Amino acid sequence: LTNKITNAANAGDEKESGYRVYSILSYFFILVIVGLPVWWYTTRVYRANLPISEMYEVELKNKSNKAFGIPLSLDYDILITFVHPDPSGIEIELNGEDIDKNMQPFLKAISPIADFVVKSQWLYLTDLGINPRKMSDHFALQESQLPHIISPLETKMWSHLSQRPTINLVLYFSYCSTPLYIYSDRNIKIPTNAFLSPRWGGIYIVNPDKSSCETKQFK
């Protein structure tokens, strides 16, 4: 009788040991096969695919045909700033349709890869903050002076109020009494009378014609 009880107990222990093995294996299966993929999927960092190659193709070129890239982003602020240092001397009237027409080639170039918000502002009684060189009938800005124009202007602009990268397009209307032209380091007048700054934008200097200065109205 004692042997039968002992054998029954041993059989029960072996059966219970088998259950333990199966329990451990099933727990391991659930943990590794099911739990690990679920943990990996729920804790992974989502990374969206960006059209980097297309974004690099959006470039601005300066007069020497060197590529100047703009900050990489999926959305931009395009800030058009009109700088009028002498509002009492001449009245500036601009046609919005003409501005839109001139902007379209640039906007079409970046619209496939980024969203943009076009903003505008006027700055009155604002100078460039540098002293141009006096010529016979006008004033000259040397290329070496151009980088020093941006910092004084930027302190008065709205570009720092947005979290999006800003592309600055500045139109500066010079005084009627002091036409202003950009000269290269070789002392040659630049035909476009404009310049670009990498990752910032560009500035175009507009000199009102003689008749506009006489009528004190520039259109």
> Are 170 and 81 spatial neighbours (Cβ–Cβ below 8 Å)?
yes
Q: Quick one: 10 and 43 in the same domain?
A: yes
Whether residues 192 and 209 fall in one domain? yes
Highest mean pLDDT among 4-8, 54-58, 71-75, 169-173: 169-173
3-state helix, strand, coil in the chain (%, to 5): 40, 25, 35
List alpha helices for 44-95, DSSP H: 52-57
> How far are the Cα atoms of 7, 21, 28, 55, 184 from residue 11, in angstroms, in the given order?
6, 15, 26, 73, 100
| 28 and 92 share one domain | no
33 and 56 co-located in one domain: no
Same domain for 166 and 90: yes
pLDDT digits (tens, 9 = 90+) for 178-191: 899 999 888 889 99
Same domain, 130 and 68: yes
Q: Which domain holds residue 37?
A: 1-47
Same domain for 16 and 62: no
- Whether 120 and 185 share a structural domain: yes
Q: Which residue has the higher pLDDT, 8 or 73?
A: 73
Same domain for 58 and 38: no
Identity of the highest mean pLDDT range in 17-26, 58-67, 186-195: 186-195
> Which two tokens mark 91?
């009245």
Lowest average pLDDT, out of 7-11, 32-36, 52-56, goes to 7-11
